[in-house]
């Protein structure tokens, strides 16, 4: 599988996430996981849930006082680790509404400043690139 080109900087994190099926419209999640990296284009998720190709999923999480619900699809799957075969890694590509994009900017800004507290010019002008 060829990975798509990355257009957005990604930031390492460890954010608990509930994974839902928009088609089922259930309040109960299909499963849980952890967002291990995040960008304006999507999230990297580790979970025991099997994420199916071409099926939309909703990822619900809170960070930096923002409650987010992102709908995305599988972009890539990380090979299983023999030490923990029940846990899988996935890259999820998300399409954001204007409101979701504003909330994601807050999350990304918080992660960016936590990871690089002494920002150089590139990071200080991140949104104008």
From 8, 6, 11, 7, select the one nearest 113 (Cα to Cα). 11
Domain count, the chain: 1
Q: Answer whether residue 40 is part of any domain.
A: yes
Q: How confident is the model at residue 4 (pLDDT cuts 50, 70, 90)?
A: low
Q: Is 31 a member of any domain? A: yes
120 assigned to some structural domain: no
CB 17 within 8 A of CB 34: yes
CATH code (residue 48): 2.40.10.220
Residue 116's pLDDT band (cuts 50, 70, 90): low
48 lies in some domain: yes
Q: What proportion of the chain, given as a percentage, has pLDDT over 90?
A: 60
Task: Please check the confidence at residue 121 and state whether its pLDDT lies above 50.
Answer: no
Q: Is residue 78 part of a domain?
A: yes
Instruction: Provide the mean pLDDT of the chain.
Output: 86
In a domain, 129, yes or no: no
- The answer to whether position 49 is within a domain reads yes
DSSP for residue 37: E
In whole angstroms, give the CA distance from residue 45 to residue 59. 10
- Look up the domain containing 67 and give its range: 11-115
Residue 102: inside a domain: yes
């Amino acid at each position: 599988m060829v990975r798509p080109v990355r257009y957005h900087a990604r930031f390492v994190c460890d954010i608990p996430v509930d994974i839902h099926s928009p088609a089922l419209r259930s309040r109960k999640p299909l499963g849980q996981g952890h967002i291990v990296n995040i960008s304006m284009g999507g999230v990297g998720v580790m979970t025991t849930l099997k994420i199916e190709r071409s099926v939309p999923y909703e990822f619900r999480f809170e960070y930096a006082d923002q409650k987010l619900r992102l709908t995305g699809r599988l972009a890539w799957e990380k090979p299983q680790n023999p030490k923990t075969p029940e846990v899988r890694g996935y890259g999820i590509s998300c399409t954001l509404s204007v409101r979701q994009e504003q909330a994601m900017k807050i999350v990304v800004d918080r992660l960016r400043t936590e990871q690089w507290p002494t920002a150089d010019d590139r990071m200080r002008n991140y949104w104008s690139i």
